[in-house]
Amino acid sequence: MDVDTTIPRTRVHHESQKYESEFKTGRRQYTQQFNTLYYKRLFTLRPFILKHAQAKWETKDIRITPKVLNVEGPEPTFIIGTIFMDSQAKPSTLMQVEKTHWISDPTPPASYRDGTETVYLEDESGRIRLVGAAIDKAVLASGVVAAVMGSETASGDFDVVDICFAGMAAQSERTSSEDVFVALVSGLNASVETPITLEMQVLAEYLCGAVGGAKDQQTSSKIVQTVIAGNIMKVPVPPIGHTEDARANDRVPVQQLVASVDAYLADIAACMPLTLLPGHGDPASASLPQQPLHPSMFAQCRQFTGFQSLTNPAYFEINGTLVLGTSGQNIDDLCRYSDETPCQLAAQSLQWRHIAPTAPDTLWCYPFTEHDPFIVRTTPHVYFAGNQREFDVGVAVGTEGQETRIIMVPEFSVSRSIVLLNLRTLECSTVHIDACV
């Protein structure tokens, strides 16, 4: 495709302020228990849920019962605790270890719902089973902290009439006023067999303004930052017993893959700021929050001041717009609990004020003891998840005027598409990369 050289190639640059991330863990130790993480989550969110519940149910003169095991009799009340969903379809790590030995996380089922699921609400005193039409209709997942209003049944269960969550956190004012774009990419999946595909090369040329007509180049000249959200490369898993087999332990192909990806990304970083988040297939820690990809992998990229490797999830600010991004594992796991779309579940997680409630139950995470970093303390202006099956966009709206643009970024290796986010309007569009001549 011919390039229109009459279009000025002066690219608009904007700084991306890197937030001091709560998701960095430093040296990891796994001697601590996970129950502390649940307690921290409950104690942190309980005051917000109590405030919302009292405002919602005050006209009905419904009062709180402090502990779930203190519920007695048919008198209406509400209790606050953590949702736990039990199902035969949920994976059991101990059973999997008994059946086989694996060195990477096992493939999870497509859904944790099979008609056998039971919902409980638990706090530091114990747990109580939740029943009723309100529970059957609610969008829930294990780990969500909620208030439920209802009464005890004769069998000792809690018949739920209504549910209340923490709601969206406070949101800062957005200052973006220019029609500039952020390119959201995910799932390049560069492999040992084909490190750089033709579509990947065309993508880099598009981002740098080297292909397309006048309109394409005008648009690409306004891209102020590219974010690649996970699964940048697809590193093969070493076979079991590879440490005893020198031939199977040959990592030269992987080293060549990393070098090829570094050179490829450096071409983009030379044109604009480039931000990387690790994903499920990348050479990074398996449990959330994934730590930044090691800087030694990006000898060429590191020469550019606009290059940064962040955690997954990660907060960052671009031109006055606060962005929260993940590589999609948290959304994928939520989809196993519900029939809602990924975009709807992402929006709902902001209402829960927690982006990864299923961790550590069915989503691997680090056992934090001082705080739960997945709690949303400041509502972002944009929340995206990478490596999704298809592009989707929505808006999460809070009770105090908060608005968050929700974006599902498709997997590039499958869709051949990227998302352009307008920082002034927060409107999104997709660009399809066609490598056919």
Give 157-211 pLDDT, tens digit per residue. 999 999 999 999 999 999 877 899 999 999 999 998 989 999 999 999 999 988 8
- Each residue's pLDDT, cut to its tens digit, for the chain (437 residues) gives 444 445 554 454 444 445 656 788 877 777 778 889 999 999 999 999 999 999 999 877 888 999 999 998 889 999 999 999 998 888 765 555 555 555 555 667 788 887 778 999 999 999 999 999 999 999 999 999 999 999 999 999 999 999 999 999 999 999 877 899 999 999 999 998 989 999 999 999 999 988 878 888 888 899 999 999 999 998 877 665 555 555 555 677 888 999 999 999 999 999 999 999 999 999 998 899 999 999 999 999 999 999 999 999 999 999 889 999 999 999 999 999 999 999 999 999 999 999 999 999 999 999 998 899 999 999 999 999 999 999 999 999 999 999 999 999 999 999 999 999 999 999 999 999 987 64
Residue type, 45: L
Q: Token pair for residue 3?
A: 């390039």
The answer to whether residues 236 and 283 touch, using CB atoms and an 8 Å cutoff, is no
Q: What is the pLDDT of residue 16?
A: 45
This prediction has a pTM of 0.91
Reduce the secondary structure of the chain to three states and give it as a string: CCCCCCCCCCCCCCCEEECCCCCCCCCCCCCCCCHHHHHHHHHHHHHHHHHHHHHHHHHHCCCECCCHHHCCCCCCEEEEEEEEEECCCCCCHHHHHHHCCCCCCCCCCCCCCCCCCEEEEEECCEEEEEECHHHHHCCCCCCCEEEEEEEECCCCCEEEEEEECCCCCCCCCCCCCCCCEEEEECCCCECCCCCCCHHHHHHHHHHCCCCCCHHHHHHHCCEEEEEEECCCECCCCCCCCHHHCCCCCCCHHHHHHHHHHHHHHHHHHCCCCEEEECCCCCCCCCCECECCCCHHHCCCHHHCCCEEECCECEEEEECCEEEEEECCHHHHHHHCCCCCCHHHHHHHHHHHCECCCCCCCCCCECCCCCCCCCECCCCCCEEEEEEECCCEEEEEECCCCCEEEEEEEECHHHHCEEEEEECCCCCEEEEECCCCC
What residues contact 325, with CB distance under 8 A and at least 6 apart?
227, 229, 277, 312, 313, 314, 316, 383, 384, 385, 386
The answer to whether residues 415 and 180 touch, using CB atoms and an 8 Å cutoff, is no
Tokens 């065309």 belong to which residue?
Answer: 202
Q: What is the pLDDT of residue 247?
A: 56
Residue type, 55: A
